[in-house]
Structure 1
Amino acid sequence: MTEQLMVKQERAARTRDTLIRSAAEIFDREGFAVASLSAITAHAGVSSGALHHHFVSKAALTEAVEEAALARLMAVTGAVLPLGASRVQLLVDVTHRLARALRGDVVLRAGFELSGETSRPPHADLREWWRRWVEETLKQADAEGELCSDVTAADVVSAVVAATVGFEVLGVREAEWLSASTVTRFWKLLLPTLVPAALLADLDYEGVCPL
């Protein structure tokens, strides 16, 4: 591969990434339904031709935003659990990571917002992906004896997903909903009803693995 071709490919990749981020910023600021390709190209500082070179339509660009957002969500949830570590603590840690990432990453935030967009079916449903990750983590916690005997994993999934997605929705307009203190207060209220007293003392409500 010639140096000239490599430079050209790197420039194209940068332009594509810029368009994805610009689309996410416009979706986040104006809403998906009213966001226009002309607004996105102007925000990105590229021509309409450059946009259509990478994305044939608004739908294609939107799908790219969702795919980029999903990759970020997978990075947030992808921590390797040390041998013998608590699944419940992992869940606490990851909810803190997710809230922090949503505060600072407009692509991730836009991806979650697109999951709730009613005018089109999601290409990559981040909220559903998050629900499945929470469900799998809690099933493993239950199997390893980390939940109280009268608590079902399904009940906890409902509470955690409802709260965290609620924080995400409310946090679009009021950042305090995605603050570490909000997530910590949630866990202080919830964990004593879920986890046996013998295990509760070892858990850190504030999360032990910040992003």
Structure 2
Amino acid sequence: MVKQERALRTREALIKSAAAAFDGEGFSVSSLTVISRRAGVSNGALHFHFDSKAALAGAVEEAAAQRLGLITLRGEGEPGTALQSLVDVTHDLARMLRDDEVLRAGFALCGDNAYATSERNLRLQWRKWVERTLERAEGEGGLAEALAPHDAVVAVVAATVGFEVLGSQDSTWLSYRTLTQFWQLLLPRLASPSTLGRLRAEGRDDVGAPRAAGLSS
């Protein structure tokens, strides 16, 4: 049991160290020697857990996908709140992208041309969740009458993935203020009049954040 726990800690340390390297330097430049040294283990220990850099990158993606799954889980909540859940989850995603190197690295890897063996794509995972959420919003009568859900998906995914890419160089793209302003701009076009007045562009649970002005139709 002690050996298993030690092996698990070593694996987690390697994933975090690799994520920091991939996030900061990219897949092709990152060195396994540097990754193992930053994790406090030998090259031999690294190769015991991962037989290649691609395998290590796959483990980073898997860990990032699990994090993304936990973030979007809150969007599967009570009926009648799909659009608000979409707003809330984008705020959560931006916050985690600012703070979590593993999540950032997972997104970065799916756009890294040097890493061609990926079996996962976090941006695709995100798009599918946005699609499901906006379909739920349409079923609830939450979308503007003339709005096609596909058009809403395109707008939301393009913007949020853009924030993710730009935020890797400038964290203000992932700030609370940026996300709030984005939703203040988009929600009046996205939501039905009966839904709009109940929505909060700043998110429901941003404790301590300055409250944005209320939305109006």
The answer on whether the counterparts of 1:69 and 1:107 sit within 8 Å (CA) in structure 2 is yes
- Post-superposition CA distance 1:13-45 (Å, at most 9, x none): 000000000000001111111111111111111
The answer on whether the counterparts of 2:15 and 2:60 sit within 8 Å (CA) in structure 1 is yes
- Root mean square deviation, CA, Å: 1.3
Matched, 1:88 2:83: yes
Q: 1:145 aligns with which of 131, 141, 144?
A: 141
Distance 1:204 1:52, change over 3 A: same
Matched, 1:197 2:189: no
Q: 1:117 aligns with which of 112, 124, 130?
A: 112
- What does residue 154 of structure 2 align with? 158
Distance 1:155 1:121, change over 3 A: farther
Q: 1:61 aligns with which of 49, 56, 64?
A: 56
- What does residue 127 of structure 2 align with? 131
Which contiguous aligned blocks of 4+ residues in structure 1 show a shift greater than 6 angstroms? none
Structure 1 gaps of 5+ residues are 1-5
Distance 1:101 1:68, change over 3 A: same
Greater RCO, CA 8 A, separation 6+: 1
Q: Tell me how far apart the structure 2 counterparts of residues 168 and 14 of structure 1 sit (CA, whole Å).
A: 29
Q: Tell me how far apart the structure 2 counterparts of residues 203 and 80 of structure 1 sit (CA, whole Å).
A: 15
Q: Where in structure 2 are the equivalents of 1:35-54 lying within 5 Å?
A: 35-54=30-49
- Post-superposition CA distance 1:28-70 (Å, at most 9, x none): 1111111111111111111001001100111111100000000
Q: 1:170 aligns with which of 166, 172, 178?
A: 166
Using the aligned pairs only, state the percent identity: 55
Q: Which amino acid aligns with 1:41?
A: S
Q: Tell me how far apart the structure 2 counterparts of residues 134 and 23 of structure 1 sit (CA, whole Å).
A: 29
Q: 1:184 aligns with which of 180, 198, 201?
A: 180
Q: Tell me how far apart the structure 1 counterparts of residues 167 and 190 of structure 2 sit (CA, whole Å).
A: 26
The answer on whether the counterparts of 1:20 and 1:64 sit within 8 Å (CA) in structure 2 is yes
Q: Tell me how far apart the structure 2 counterparts of residues 179 and 124 of structure 1 sit (CA, whole Å).
A: 26
Q: Tell me how far apart the structure 1 counterparts of residues 84 and 78 of structure 2 sit (CA, whole Å).
A: 13
Structure 2 gaps of 5+ residues are 208-217
For residue 84 of structure 1, report the CA deviation from its aligned partner: 3.5
For residue 198 of structure 1, report the CA deviation from its aligned partner: 2.1
Q: Tell me how far apart the structure 2 counterparts of residues 51 and 92 of structure 1 sit (CA, whole Å).
A: 40
Three-state SS of the structure 1 residue aligned to 2:74 is coil
Q: Tell me how far apart the structure 2 counterparts of residues 142 and 175 of structure 1 sit (CA, whole Å).
A: 32
Three-state SS of the structure 1 residue aligned to 2:120 is coil
Q: Tell me how far apart the structure 1 counterparts of residues 62 and 26 of structure 2 sit (CA, whole Å).
A: 18
Q: Tell me how far apart the structure 2 counterparts of residues 159 and 207 of structure 1 sit (CA, whole Å).
A: 19
Three-state SS of the structure 2 residue aligned to 1:207 is coil
Q: In the comparison of the two structures, how many residue pairs are matched?
A: 206
- What does residue 23 of structure 2 align with? 28
- What does residue 3 of structure 1 align with? none
- For normalisation by structure 1, the TM-score amounts to 0.94
For residue 122 of structure 1, report the CA deviation from its aligned partner: 2.4
Q: Which amino acid aligns with 1:137?
A: T
